[in-house]
Structure 1
Amino acid sequence: MALKANIKAGNLGRPGSERRTKAEGKPIAFRPEAAHPFDDRCLSWQYDAQTVSIWTTAGRIRKVRFACSVDAFKMLRQYRKGESDLVERDGVLYLVAVCEIPETPVDGNPDGFIGVDLGIVNIATTSTGYRAAGRGLNRYRKRQLELRQKLQAKGTKSAKRLLKRRRRKEQRHVANQNHVIAKKIVITAERTGCGIALEDLSGIRDRVRLRKDQRPQLHAWSFHQLAGFLEYKAKRVGVPQVYVDPAYTSQRCSECGYIDRKSRVDQATFACRSCGALMHADDNASRYVARKGQAVWAAGRESRVPATG
């Protein structure tokens, strides 16, 4: 299907071109670790017995037990719908089920917005005073990078086995950190009746110029994943979320609105050259993002009002 779609869209060139001829002549193959999708006819769930019945090329296999957490089982039983994918990771088989959870209606009149400034030194700083420091995570990433380099340089069978066993460990650790941060921010927003305002950092890796020793940190920065976690958690509890233009958030004073790059004294300090406001640079940015989020939300509400006759 992907090959036909690319040919139809013209992504592989004109008929008879070398690239298109090569793509059409190449046999279609599937990765050994690719997911195997099953619909409800091929795979059925028995929730009371906590087993599944799977149709295979060798016939139907019944009473295959599965294990999951209590919360996951409750969600599975209540909201599962559609197909399930069977995947293999590091010798363990997983069933990935699709669950359609209804979204809570978004509060149309939030009591202000919580601004969230995303960064590398501090993963997230909110206008309410919460700061998720990135020092521990950056140290962890550095240790993992050094260990991978040592094992790759060694090149022995035992080193390769260890590399394979540690594969995706850093990804799981980072994802867990982002889940914890996102949950804290969304709980605060829900409790206070506020919305969440985030910077739109799309394409930032292409725009920013850094020294060679700073590039690994930028490319390992998982701001998009954290924003995604915030978005879906906010939707589940009905908290509105908006994205704002990140331009000048590090140079604009959240008190008077004055812009001057010299106001950013260093990474952690912001001292306004106009009104003299002195605060942590990330706190200043998060407060400006909060004000900008309120303006974006108000503008969006005005644009949705039907025109009068």
Structure 2
Amino acid sequence: MKLAVQVKVVPDAVQASALERTLPAVNHAATWVSAVSFERFGLKGGVRVLRRLCYGELKARGFGAQAAQHIIKRVADAYTTLRANIRNGNLGREGSKRRRKAESKPIAFRPHAAHTYDDRCLSWNYDAQTVSIWTLDGRIKNLRFACSPGALKQLAEHRRGESDLVKRDGKWFLVATIDIAEPQVFEPRDWIGVDRGIVNLATTSDGHNYQGRRLGRYRRWQARKRAELQAKRTRSAVQLLKRRARREARHAAHVNHKVSKTVVAVAERTGRGIALEQLQGIRERVTVSRDQRARLSSWPFHQLGAFIAYKARRSGVPYLEVDPAYTSQKCPVPWCGHTARNNRPTRDTFHCRRCGFAGPADVVAGINVRDRAGSAWVFVNRPDPAPV
């Protein structure tokens, strides 16, 4: 199982100057290679032909052999990803504005976009918490980094492959890939159904409710600040808007991490699996009023599901996604099962019109998700029929 570990790089003045000179130069060179590739081959350039066309020029610009190879491979990988996104329809249908824009110009790399280093260009000293890294000013040794003891232990034991150098908000970071063994998934004795929402970020079938009111207030406050900055229309306002957007995303990710960590810990402790609704494409299926559109679009439900999924895999907890149809309208009583829209008279309450069962609507949805997961798990893990 591959995960990313981020550490903060703490350079001195000389080291920071070398890094500041190197990263924009690397990305400028990658943009040039991308333009050459697009002019010659459109979106179909490969590593071999780009090496033949661009390797000599990159060497003449002062890049080492390994650095030049990485720049070329990075450009080729970017076009491979773009072709895959177009093929899979992630940029819209043929002729759509977004797809035409992506197909009409070469890929450009931001000046401080992350650049990849392999073990030849970047080596780690975990005991001293330093790295040795290639730059245009020569190799920098004893470049310090800072991280938690847990992250340092993960790096020392499980780091594999390449690492990315990135500058964000004036700070330098290294993002390393670790490869840890996945534990075997245990057989669940029951399931925890999780209903995701906007007012309540997550509600479990046990009745635990993780409310989103604080996150909602924070997002509304950020929206007011964005409106004030957008009205100024200055370059500094635009830069501040980008910083605020990243800060808001980090805050939402922090909240989702806390919720997902708690849900997985409860499932692991009680020997149960975790079941969520399949919510792919919900923004296209659901119609909301104009004043609710921004709230729905900024709802981080997919990120919460992804966090729960990878934390469950890391802990060996069974994980399933089930059909979300009518989970908030179906009565969870086994002998009833009545499904009707008027079973949910308000957003927060459920009241079955047939048997009279009542309760919080989100908890009822979590119970229905749990019951569907039990049936789905039995179906998926049923033994194959004996050959005739």
Aligned-partner Cα distance in 1 for 2:85–2:376: 36
Matched, 1:254 2:254: no
Give the Cα separation in 2 of the matches to 1:191 and 1:46. Answer: 36
Looking at structure 2, the residues matched to 160 and 116 of structure 1 have their Cα atoms a distance apart, in angstroms, of 38
* Partners of 2:235 and 2:85 in 1: CA distance: 45
Q: 1:276 aligns with which of 331, 356, 360?
A: 356
Deviations 1:170-217 (A, max 9, x none): 111100000000011001100110000100000000000110001111
Deviations 1:13-51 (A, max 9, x none): 9xxxxx89x85xx56643212211011111000111110
2:212 counterpart (134, 140, 145): 134
2:170 is the alignment partner of 1:91: yes
Aligned-residue offset at 1:134:
1.1
Structure 1: gaps (5+ residues): 14-18
Alpha-carbon distance in 1 for matches of 2:86, 2:222: 42
Map 1:209-288 to 2 at 5 A: 209-255=287-333, 256-288=336-368
Q: Residue 42 in 1 paired to residue 121 in 2? A: yes
Q: Distance in 2 between matches of 1:49 and 1:143?
A: 43
**Residues in 1 aligned to 2:142 and 2:354: alpha-carbon distance in whole angstroms:** 72
SS at match of 1:249: coil
Which residue of structure 2 aligns with residue 119 of structure 1? 197
Shift of 1:163: 3.0
Structure 2 letter corresponding to 1:111: R
Alpha-carbon deviations, 1:141-183, whole Å to 9, x = none? 1111011101111335664454344341111110000000001
The percent identity for this pair of structures is 53
The alpha carbon displacement at 1:57 in A equals: 2.8
User: Within 1, Cα distance between the matches of 2:177 and 2:253?
Assistant: 20
Question: SS of 2:381's equivalent?
Answer: helix
Tell me, yes or no, if structure 1 residue 205 matches structure 2 residue 305: no
Once residues 306 and 234 of structure 2 are traced to their aligned partners in structure 1, the CA distance between those partners, rounded to angstroms, is: 39
Which residue is 2:43 aligned to? 3
Partner Cα distance (2:84, 2:361) in 1 = 50
Q: Does 1:110 align with 2:188?
A: yes
2:307 maps to amino acid: F
Return 218-227 or 28-37, whichever deviates more. Answer: 28-37
CA separation in 2, counterparts of 1:122 and 1:192?
Answer: 23
| C-alpha separation in 1, matches of 2:190 and 2:85 | 45
SS in 2 for 1:291: helix
Q: Match of 2:224, as an amino acid?
A: E
Structure 2 counterpart SS, 1:252: coil
Give the stretch that moved more between structures: 163-172 or 235-244.
163-172
Verify: 1:51 aligned to 2:130, yes or no: yes
Deviation at 1:74, TM superposition (A): 1.2
C-alpha RMSD of the superposition:
2.4
Counterpart-to-counterpart distance in 2, 1:293 and 1:8: 32
SS of equivalent to 1:114: strand
* TM-score with structure 2 setting the length: 0.72
Offset at 1:98? Answer: 0.4
SS at match of 1:166: helix
Shift of 1:250: 1.4
Q: One-letter code of the match for 2:111?
A: P
* Counterpart code for 2:368: Y
Indicate the SS of the match to 1:306: coil
In structure 2, the partner of 1:16 is none
Q: In 1, Cα distance between the equivalents of 2:86 and 2:359?
A: 54
- Counterpart-to-counterpart distance in 2, 1:226 and 1:219: 14
Distance in 1 (CA, whole Å) between partners of 2:83 and 2:317 is 42
Give secondary structure in 2 for the equivalent of 1:248. Answer: coil
Determine the C-alpha separation between the residues in 1 that align with 2:380 and 2:213.
Answer: 37
Looking at structure 1, the residues matched to 84 and 309 of structure 2 have their Cα atoms a distance apart, in angstroms, of 34
1:212-265 deviations in Å (ceiling 9; x for gaps): 001111101111100010011111111000000000111111112110100101
Residue pairs, 1:62-211, within 5 angstroms: 62-107=141-186, 109-156=187-234, 159-160=237-238, 162-211=240-289
Deviations 1:115-141 (A, max 9, x none): 000000111000111100111111111
Q: Distance in 1 between matches of 2:166 and 2:385?
A: 52
**Superposition TM-score, scaled by structure 1 size:** 0.90
Unpaired runs of 5+ in structure 2? 1-36, 45-79, 88-93, 95-99
SS in 2 for 1:33: coil
Supply the AA of the counterpart residue of 2:221.
R
1:269-292 CA deviation, whole Å, 9 max, x = no partner? 100011100100001100000000
Letter in 1 for 2:155: L
